Structure 1
Amino acid sequence: MDTMSVTVVPVRSATFIAGARQSARAFLAGLTAPVATENADAVVLVVSELVTNALRHGGGTCVLELTAHPDSIEVAVRDPSPRAPRMRIPDLNGGTGGFGWPMVNRLARAISLSPTASGGKTVSALLPRAAR
């Protein structure tokens, strides 16, 4: 099983979110059993959303871990905040978001939320490897 961890430093910057996306692409490209292109795009999108949310709402730091399972890819993001992500009405006018978490829920086969020993949380999303 292929695994990789990437630590995103405590800076709120698109550069670090872009780095998480690049790390996800590199991880997927390095797998011996390829991931369908559409599914790889979904993994990168979920990485981007979860890392963005962790940096924005989770205290400014996070750890990204990607794990390849035989039929799925797991995206796990750990941050220091105990607050769970929540659904909200998307803001169509003010630009405050509300689109990412529903999208993650739609793309993922399963989502879990686990508390960490340090008082934070890990949000995990399981996405399929093969085309549906």
Structure 2
Amino acid sequence: MTRQARGSGPVAIGTTSVEARADAGNVGEEPEDAGPRAQPSQLRRRLGRADLRAVPEARRALRELLRHWGKPGRSEIAELLTSELVTNALVHTDREALLTATVGPDGLRVEVRDFVAGRPRPRVPAAQDGTHGRGLLLVQSLASAWGVLPHGVGKSVWFELDAEAA
């Protein structure tokens, strides 16, 4: 189950689309009547096959989307977790992926969909692994919720962050 803004379709590789209410200003700005009924803002980005340059680009796009979101430190956590999911999709598959980030009244949901079978699982990395193998452990530790949704072809790895959590 995913939450998406209506009318959001795929965008060309390397481009970003951000959807918000028609009366909203720039990316990340809240509409004047923002509140519990405010519609979500959304970022969608296609990630090129094995193109690790997409990781900092995804972080920058997410940072722009989250400019005025959440308590201090929440957007930085979102950037870190998004980087982990994007990196995993690009390193562990040989296909493109799709990043979707949706900001709504309840918080943020980020999904990275790939088109390869196989379910990722957190693992305890061996000491000799250095900094490798810790991405899903970070997601598991820092996200309000996370999971894997199977699709007909591939899966989405997702996490949610509450904007107001400490």
Q: Into which bin does the TM-score normalised by the smaller protein fall?
A: 0.7 to 0.9
Indicate the residue corresponding to 2:54 in structure 1: 16
- Give 5+ residue unaligned stretches, structure 1: none
Contact 2:50 2:93 in 1 (8 A): no
Between 1:92-101 and 1:70-79, the stretch displaced more is 92-101
Quick one: which of 86, 103, 108 aligns to 1:51?
A: 86
1:88 aligns with 2:123: yes
Paired residue type of 1:122: S
CA distance in 2, matches of 1:35, 1:59: 34
Q: TM-score, normalised by structure 1?
A: 0.87
CA distance in 2, matches of 1:36, 1:57: 33
Bigger RCO (CA 8 Å, 6+ sep): 1
- Structure (1 or 2) with the greater helix fraction: 1
CA distance in 1, matches of 2:98, 2:74: 22
Between 1:44-53 and 1:67-76, the stretch displaced more is 67-76
Could you say what secondary structure the match of 1:93 adopts? Answer: helix
Contact 1:38 1:131 in 2 (8 A): no
CA shift for structure 1 position 94: 3.7
- Give 5+ residue unaligned stretches, structure 2: 1-39
> Cα gap change, 1:49/1:10 in structure 2, threshold over 3 Å: closer, same or farther?
same
Q: Deviations over 1:42-66 (max 9, x none)?
A: 1000110000000111334211000
Cα RMSD, aligned residues only: 1.6
The structure with the largest alpha-carbon Rg is 2
1:36 aligns with 2:77: no
Paired residue type of 1:28: L
CA distance in 1, matches of 2:130, 2:95: 20
CA shift for structure 1 position 27: 1.1
Indicate the residue corresponding to 1:129 in structure 2: 163
Structure 2 counterparts to residues 37-116 of structure 1, below 5 A: 37-95=72-130, 97-116=132-151
**After the TM superposition, which segments of 4 or more aligned residues of structure 1 sit over 3 Å from their partners?**
none
Q: TM-score, normalised by structure 2?
A: 0.70
> Cα gap change, 1:92/1:61 in structure 2, threshold over 3 Å: closer, same or farther?
farther
Indicate the residue corresponding to 2:4 in structure 1: none
